[in-house]
Amino acid sequence: MRIHLQNQPNDRLFDFSHAMWDEAAVRAGETGHQVTIGTTVADFTSAMTTAEALVCDASVIKARFPCPAPHLRFIFATNAGLDRLAPYDWLPPGAILMNNRGTHAAKAGEFALMAVLMLANRIPEMVTHQRAGRWEKLWGATLAARRITIVGLGALGGTLAGHAARFGMPVTGVRNTAAPHPDCARVLTMEALDSVLPETDILVLACPLTARTRGLMDRNRLSALPAGAGLVNIGRGELLDQDALCDLLESGHIGAAVLDVFTPEPIPEGHRLWSTPNVIISPHTSADDPATYNPRSLDIFLANLRAHRDGKPLPNQFDIARGY
Amino acid sequence: MRIHLQNQPNDRLFDFSHAMWDEAAVRAGETGHQVTIGTTVADFTSAMTTAEALVCDASVIKARFPCPAPHLRFIFATNAGLDRLAPYDWLPPGAILMNNRGTHAAKAGEFALMAVLMLANRIPEMVTHQRAGRWEKLWGATLAARRITIVGLGALGGTLAGHAARFGMPVTGVRNTAAPHPDCARVLTMEALDSVLPETDILVLACPLTARTRGLMDRNRLSALPAGAGLVNIGRGELLDQDALCDLLESGHIGAAVLDVFTPEPIPEGHRLWSTPNVIISPHTSADDPATYNPRSLDIFLANLRAHRDGKPLPNQFDIARGY
């Protein structure tokens, strides 16, 4: 197959290389493909005249499509959340869009567990005290004493549910269907979210941004959490009302937050988030480990190619109607 | 037995109550003891005329002993590290001193895992950027990519070793004897510490403070860690040269630190630690969960009484020669 890997013009840390491809091809038993790697617009345009498959970051897709790509059948975006590509009318007719779900599970799962531990141990408040040069004893708790609700049980939320359950936390999962999950004591549908908020010590947002989840945690829902509750957001900034969150952190109703995603990104200089108390700001890197990102991405891409050749469903095919 | 529980005059959060005792006595099958609870100096002095066993914080022992206590046979300090009680010449002749090792394992183990995750995810540096209102992408890694060395394999270090191993970390343990530990890939003696420092991405100090460990991580040893290494201290502040650590954090040779213990405590106002970059300051509360601390302590105390009655070694007897 004619496969093109397009690197971003200004992100050497996440560049694909031919050596990386060759190793992945050997791992997958998929040697023999014709592979090009490009960086410039000219590289891209030239490759699209013959490429059957494209692997690149969503920002490349956003910048270059629609464009002439007569043979293109597979587009593999190296991101999990593709919300910024909606609506998907730029997709060449007949081409299959895939996302990179699964790549992030290990790294994001560890980050999420860390965030939950930081809330249970009251690190965000300690950091606020530290900023003021103030010593004040603050007592945390073990995870088993905290009720966690995880919105979204995909690769990120599902991995966290496993970690949380192993530490004895009673885990409530919330997703589109109430199908059971092995690491959740119970799973509720999105419609039941309101009922569980008052019983939630730590709320984790780990769902994709779709028309349905945009603004999910509005001011009313954030206020429905019990006083002192903690919040983790590793989904998208637009899942919540960020101003309401800042207000509630300032009033103390929300005890602390660990956030990896924001509206907008980067957070502008002088933005109120920088001085909001009891919040930890991670610069949207929770899910990405540069040392393993590209090799894992290629493994997933090649597994999908194999599935297609075997006539099986593609595990990473993006569902445009659902938006994830 | 005549047992006296002495609360501290100013720490209601960790007070013993009769209800707490009664529940523990039922759990242990140890009902029938004569138990008093006191807070004032007068309570203490009066109780010591008849008490056979005393349960209290080390600060009470420090303040009250030596004192007349003609029947006292057991002193159970509700702390693990009793370094501040050295030398132990205040101990009434024939009385057995016990510490509270074991109580802290769950809470401190979770705190230590959190600290290690924070280093792998570069949270201390993110917090330094946040303090300056600066958005800068920083990339972390999964735990499996980091080499951890844990000094001390007691309740704290041993519990952390288990967590770290479950996340795929290659764990090196360092302790007085090189006896193997089920969660360590290798165990070295203290004498071999120098050899492992250059191969350590994350160093965790979880050992007691003794004549042997005081100043263990001096400037030379801290400098022997590879550039960018992370450090966690949940032992005692005096285990390391705090000024050297601040220097090395400022120069960037040590990438980040998560510290729960300091010299002195509380950290004075205006101390350089408050403005040292890439350090997270926890106010010596990592090991203590108020909701479970006293019940666990009483369970451990009663298990030791039972062992004594059965003629078995006391699991928590403090070894004055070793200092832990």
Could you report the predicted ipTM of this complex, rounded to two decimals? 0.93
Structure tokens at A95: 């081409």
Task: Say what angle helices B290-309 and B18-28 make with each other, to 10 degrees.
Answer: 50
pLDDT tens readout for residues A45-100: 999 999 999 999 999 999 999 999 999 999 999 999 999 999 999 999 999 999 99
Structure tokens at B7: 């609360």
Nearest to A120 by CA among A164, A75, A63, A61: A164
Q: What pLDDT does residue A85 have?
A: 96
Class of domain A105-281: alpha beta
**Rounded Cα gap, residues A175 and A178, in angstroms:** 7
Q: What are phi and psi of B231, to 5 degrees?
A: -135, 140
pLDDT tens readout for residues A12-59: 999 999 999 999 999 999 999 999 999 999 999 999 999 999 999 999
Q: With an 8 Å Cβ cutoff, are B269 and A133 in contact? A: yes
H or E segment and range at residue B59: helix B58-64
For an interface test with B, give the residue of A8, A10, A12, A110 to mutate (most B CBs within 10 A): A110
Same-fold call for B2-103+288-309 versus B105-281: yes
Contacts of A294 in chain B (CB under 8 A): none
**Rounded Cα gap, residues A224 and A200, in angstroms:** 9
Per-residue confidence of chain B (324 residues) as pLDDT tens digits? 999 999 998 889 999 999 999 999 999 999 999 999 999 999 999 999 999 999 999 999 999 999 999 999 999 999 999 999 999 999 999 999 999 999 999 999 999 999 999 999 999 999 999 999 999 999 999 999 999 999 999 999 999 999 999 999 999 999 999 999 999 999 999 999 999 999 999 999 999 999 999 999 999 999 999 999 999 999 999 999 999 999 999 999 999 999 999 999 999 999 999 999 999 999 999 999 999 999 999 999 999 999 999 999 999 999 999 999
Structure tokens at B248: 């090395």
Nearest to B208 by CA among B137, B132, B153: B153
For the beta carbon of residue B175, count every other beta carbon within 10 angstroms: 21
Question: Which of B274, B283, B292 has the CB atom closest to A136's CB atom?
Answer: B283
Q: Where are the domains of chain A?
A: 2-103+289-309, 105-281
Question: Which of A133, A144, A269 has the CB atom closest to B274's CB atom?
Answer: A133
Nearest to B97 by CA among B105, B106, B86: B86
> 3-class DSSP state for residue B14?
helix
**Rounded Cα gap, residues A310 and A305, in angstroms:** 9
CB-based contact A100:A79 (threshold 8 Å): yes
The C-alpha torsion from A139 through A142 and A147 to A153, rounded to 10°, is 120
**Rounded Cα gap, residues A187 and A175, in angstroms:** 7
Residues in contact with B87: Cβ distance below 8 Å, sequence separation at least 6, in sequence order: none
Contacts of A117 in chain B (CB under 8 A): 110-111, 113-114, 117
Model confidence, pTM: 0.93
Residue A206 has pLDDT above 90, yes or no: yes
Mean pLDDT of A218-230: 98
> In chain A, whose CA is at the least distance from the CA of B13?
A139
* Average pLDDT taken over every residue of chain A: 97
**Rounded Cα gap, residues A64 and A43, in angstroms:** 12
**Rounded Cα gap, residues A56 and A77, in angstroms:** 5
Residue A131 has pLDDT above 90, yes or no: yes
Residue A243 has pLDDT above 90, yes or no: yes
Q: What pLDDT does residue B305 have?
A: 97
Give the CA distances from residue A45 to residues A5, A38, A60, in Å, rounded to whole numbers and listed in that order.
Answer: 12, 10, 12
Contacts of B201 in chain A (CB under 8 A): none
**Rounded Cα gap, residues B184 and B170, in angstroms:** 7
Residue A107 has pLDDT above 90, yes or no: yes
Q: What pLDDT does residue A11 have?
A: 84
- State the DSSP string of A49-79: TT-SEEEE-HHHHHHH-S---TT--EEEES-
Q: With an 8 Å Cβ cutoff, are A267 and B139 in contact? A: no
- The verdict on B284 touching A (C-beta cutoff 8 Å) is yes
- The answer as to CATH 3.40.50.80 being correct for domain A2-103+289-309 is no
Chain B residues 166-185 with a CB less than 8 Å from chain A: 167
First-to-last CA distance in chain B?
26
- The verdict on A13 touching B (C-beta cutoff 8 Å) is yes
Question: Which of A106, A117, A130 has the CB atom closest to B113's CB atom?
Answer: A117
Taken in order A39, A40, A44, A46, is the CA torsion positive or negative? Answer: negative
**Rounded Cα gap, residues B54 and B45, in angstroms:** 12
Taken in order A145, A147, A152, A158, is the CA torsion positive or negative? Answer: positive
Quote the DSSP letter at residue A143: G
Give the CA distances from residue A219 to residues A41, A238, A267, in Å, rounded to whole numbers and listed in that order.
Answer: 43, 13, 21
Give the CA distances from residue A127 to residues A122, A242, A254, A290, in Å, rounded to whole numbers and listed in that order.
Answer: 9, 20, 16, 27
Burial per residue of A53-69, b for 16 or more beta-carbon CB atoms within 10 angstroms, e otherwise: bbbbbbbbbeebbeeeb
Residue A10 has pLDDT above 90, yes or no: no
Contacts of B139 in chain A (CB under 8 A): 13, 285, 288-290
**Rounded Cα gap, residues B181 and B197, in angstroms:** 19
CB pairs under 8 A between A and B: 131
Q: What pLDDT does residue B247 have?
A: 98
Q: What pLDDT does residue A212 have?
A: 94
- The verdict on B147 touching A (C-beta cutoff 8 Å) is no
CB-based contact B83:B212 (threshold 8 Å): no
Nearest to B209 by CA among B104, B78, B65, B322: B322
H or E segment and range at residue B258: strand B254-259
For residue B129, with 0-12 CB atoms within 10 Å meaning exposed, 13-18 middle and 19 or more buried, which class applies? buried
pLDDT tens readout for residues A273-298: 999 999 999 999 999 999 999 999 99
> 3-class DSSP state for residue B322?
coil
> In chain B, whose CA is at the least distance from the CA of A142?
B107
CB-based contact A279:A273 (threshold 8 Å): yes
Assigned CATH for B2-103+288-309:
3.40.50.720
Q: With an 8 Å Cβ cutoff, are A107 and B280 in contact? A: no
